[in-house]
């Protein structure tokens, strides 16, 4: 039974969501401030963290930054509907996905399952694969570890999943719809910029190729292509 940590200062909403998640097959707990959320997230007791952006004192973005400094645990952000700034900033700092508030408990549960299922499927699909390579880039899907130019490459869970899809299709253009389906575990929504933000973060970590161009090329109106080395 996956253990889920909910971090939200809205105690009434948190209680409702925890009750639903527990009835829906999860072992869910809630804390109500960012400091407690970071401590619990780093305890090693949870499979995933649901983190609200708007909290007093340490907000969700600050909490996410503290979590990511020490852990790659999957993090799902709860953001105000239409608030692109907090949502995109959260993704840039390493959130795996986001759900706009207000959301239904059913929608939240579905998003959590999508993230956990994606990680499970990646592990099963990679059971017989020792490593995926493209020039200085090496991925070990089974261990979800990456190396770039001989050094460990720190990636969030979503960044790893996206890069794995691109490496498996190296030299080919992969549509955003396919990336969303295979890496995020959900259909691509209209106006959803999550893929773009995650790819931008990966680009920054890889730097440019010898020709000065990005290792991940944008094919306008279609998707992205990892350059074959």
CB 14 within 8 A of CB 30: yes
Mean per-residue pLDDT, 41-64 = 92
Task: Spell out the domain ranges in the chain.
Answer: 3-121, 127-226
Pick the CATH number of 127-226 from 1.20.58.1610, 1.10.3720.10, 3.30.365.10, 1.10.10.10: 1.10.10.10
Helix, strand, or coil (residue 65): helix
pLDDT band for position 91 (cuts 50, 70, 90): confident
> Hey, do 3-121 and 127-226 end up sharing a CATH topology, with the first three levels equal?
no
Is the alpha carbon torsion for 119, 124, 130, 135 positive or negative?
A: negative
Indicate whether 126 pLDDT > 60: no
Indicate whether 217 pLDDT > 90: yes
pLDDT (0 to 100) of residue 128: 44
pLDDT (0 to 100) of residue 192: 84
Instruction: Count CB-CB contacts under 10 A for residue 210.
Output: 6
Mean per-residue pLDDT, 139-162 = 89
CB 94 within 8 A of CB 160: no
pLDDT (0 to 100) of residue 70: 86
pLDDT (0 to 100) of residue 175: 95
pLDDT (0 to 100) of residue 127: 45
Rounded to two decimals, the pTM is: 0.67
The two structure tokens encoding residue 63: 């909490």
Range scoring the smallest mean pLDDT among 27-41, 42-56, 136-150, 198-212: 136-150
Question: In the chain, which residue ranges form alpha helices assigned H by DSSP?
Answer: 11-23, 34-41, 60-68, 84-92, 105-125, 157-168, 176-179, 194-206
Indicate whether 38 pLDDT > 90: yes
pLDDT band for position 83 (cuts 50, 70, 90): low
The CATH homologous superfamily to which domain 3-121 belongs is: Response regulator (3.40.50.2300)
């Amino acid at each position: 039974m996956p253990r889920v940590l909910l971090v939200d200062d809205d105690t009434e909403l948190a209680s409702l969501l925890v009750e639903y998640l527990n009835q829906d097959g999860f072992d869910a707990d809630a804390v109500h401030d960012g400091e407690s959320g970071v401590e619990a997230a780093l305890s090693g007791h949870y499979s995933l963290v649901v983190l609200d952006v708007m909290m007093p004192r340490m907000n969700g973005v600050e909490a996410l930054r503290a979590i990511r400094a020490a852990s790659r645990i999957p993090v799902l952000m709860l953001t105000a509907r239409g608030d692109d700034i907090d949502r995109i900033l959260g993704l840039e700092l390493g959130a795996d996905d986001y759900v706009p508030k207000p959301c239904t408990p059913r929608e939240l549960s579905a998003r959590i399952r999508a993230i956990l299922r994606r990680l499970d499927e990646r592990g099963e699909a990679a059971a017989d694969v020792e490593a995926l390579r493209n020039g200085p880039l090496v991925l070990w899907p089974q261990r979800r570890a990456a190396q770039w130019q001989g050094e460990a490459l720190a990636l969030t869970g979503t960044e790893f999943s996206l890069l794995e899809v691109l490496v498996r299709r190296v030299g080919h253009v992969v549509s955003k719809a396919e990336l969303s389906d295979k890496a995020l575990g959900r259909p691509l929504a209209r106006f959803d910029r999550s893929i773009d933000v995650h790819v931008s973060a990966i680009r920054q970590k890889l730097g440019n190729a010898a020709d000065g161009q990005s290792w991940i090329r944008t094919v306008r109106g279609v998707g992205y292509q990892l350059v074959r080395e």
